Amino acid sequence: MADALTKAFGPGGGVVTAVAPGRVNLIGEHTDYNEGFVLPMAIDLSVEMAARPRTDRQVRIRSVDFGEEVAFSLTDALVPDPAHPWSNYVRGVLWALREAGTEPAGMDAAFGGTLPQGAGLSSSAALEVATALVAKAIRPFELDLPGLARLCQHAENDFVGVKCGIMDPFASLAARAGHALLLDCRSLDYEHVPLELGEHVVAICHSGVRHALVGSEYNVRRRQCAEGVEVLRRRFPAVRALRDATLEQLESCASELSAEVHRRCRHVIAENARALESAEALRAGDLVRFGRLMDASHVSLRDDYAVSCPEVDLLVELSRRSRGVLGARITGGGFGGCTVNLVARDAVEAFRGDVLGEYGRRTGLTPRLFLSAPGPGAATH
Ligand code: GLA
């Protein structure tokens, strides 16, 4: 990326580079904004950004993958640029820094990487994290890891306008190689849970259905969860978020909830318990139990939370029927994107043929398979 920087903006010193990985969520879906638990791991696809400071207040950004450049001045208010949506993740982080009382420095930057966009592997959070890290390296500011994750979330929520949770930037920042990350999205306490896969691999399958969070049903789900909390809380004042509720409590309020809101809440409460149980299964090295929890998660996301789609359901079903698969589920925000599968290493080629081949024939879509070991979190060089 340093070469791309020089090519775009000429030679210069003081170059810093940040690499921020994407993530796949193993389990704990749609729990982060309900203050619950998630269990993602970083993947070995990432966004890399090289940057160097400028003496004036200009910012120039080159997107290697889009083959585009933007330039703006920090003397002006930072506003989204509808003509270059990719640049809004970078602008958003600089905006959020300014909101936090830290004036970012002018810089030239170039970025690109291996992480596909719109696949649900968190390319936007990775770009935000890379931006935050180069900005911090160029002009240091006081923010610890949770603070940086919040900064990126703030950029995405309030500048880009996507009301996502804390999981994606947190996973990109805090992941550890060989481990899954158990994150408590209320306290932001986290634990690196060893992911000893032995003869198995984490296989991520892109359905070829483009997932788009912006303008999707995501915000509707958030509202439905809030609606559920409001009802639960009247009877159980200790319930501040769905993470505090039990299924028994939910059932006792069923008559006051619409059938839809009831199902949404049921997913979140059960999924939160599954995330915790999965961490336990992984600590015990029990992949079979973990696989069953993944399966149950998919059913719940499909039927109760209604964030799957027919193509992804087919992909999961084919996977479940394939040899050597311990568990399969939709991962990420939903409505397309990827599945995550736990597959025996010696069955991966069969998986490719049976699952991807059959899926392609039946849908006319082109699925893609990524195998990734649990990777390290973001770093600056
Ligand atoms: C998207 C959001 C995350 C999380 C997931 C669902 O990926 O960015 O914050 O809410 O959906 O688990």
Q: pLDDT digit string (tens) for 184-229?
A: 999 999 999 999 999 999 999 999 998 665 457 889 999 999 999 9
The one catalytic residue in 44, 65, 76, 168 is 168
Q: What is the DSSP letter of 375?
A: B
pLDDT at 215: 58
The string of pLDDT tens digits covering residues 68-109 is 999 999 999 999 999 999 999 999 999 999 999 999 999 999
The string of pLDDT tens digits covering residues 250-302 is 999 999 999 999 999 999 999 999 999 999 999 999 999 999 999 999 999 99
The response to whether residue 165 sits with its C-beta less than 6 Å from ligand 1 reads: yes
**What average pLDDT does range 162-183 have in this prediction?**
96
Q: What ligand 1 atom has the least distance to the C-alpha of 30?
A: 12
Strand partners, 21: 46
Ligand 1, atom 11: closest residue by C-alpha: 333
The response to whether residue 35 sits with its C-beta less than 6 Å from ligand 1 reads: no
162 falls in which pLDDT band (50, 70, 90)?
Answer: confident
Note the Cα 178 to chain centre separation in Å: 18
- The whole-chain average pLDDT of the chain stands at 96
Mutate-to-test residue for ligand 1 from 27, 32, 173, highest number of ligand atoms within 8 A of CB:
32
Task: State what percent of residues in the chain have pLDDT above 70.
Answer: 99
pLDDT at 107: 98
Is 11's pLDDT higher than 70? yes
The response to whether residue 330 sits with its C-beta less than 6 Å from ligand 1 reads: no
Establish whether 168 is a catalytic residue. yes
Both tokens of 156, joined, read 């995405």
Sequence-distant (≥ 6) Cβ neighbours of residue 233 within 8 angstroms? 239, 240
**What average pLDDT does range 336-352 have in this prediction?**
96
Helix %, strand %, coil % of the chain (to 5): 45, 25, 35
97 three-state secondary structure: helix
Tell me the pairing of strands 58-63 and 107-113: parallel
257 three-state secondary structure: coil
Q: What ligand 1 atom has the least distance to the C-alpha of 122?
A: 7
pLDDT at 214: 45
Q: Can you give the C-alpha Rg of the chain in angstroms? A: 21
Residues 48 and 1 sit within 8 Å (Cβ to Cβ) = yes
pLDDT at 110: 98
* Strands of 175-276, DSSP E: 179-184, 190-194, 200-206
Q: What is the DSSP letter of 372?
A: -
139 three-state secondary structure: coil
**What average pLDDT does range 24-41 have in this prediction?**
98
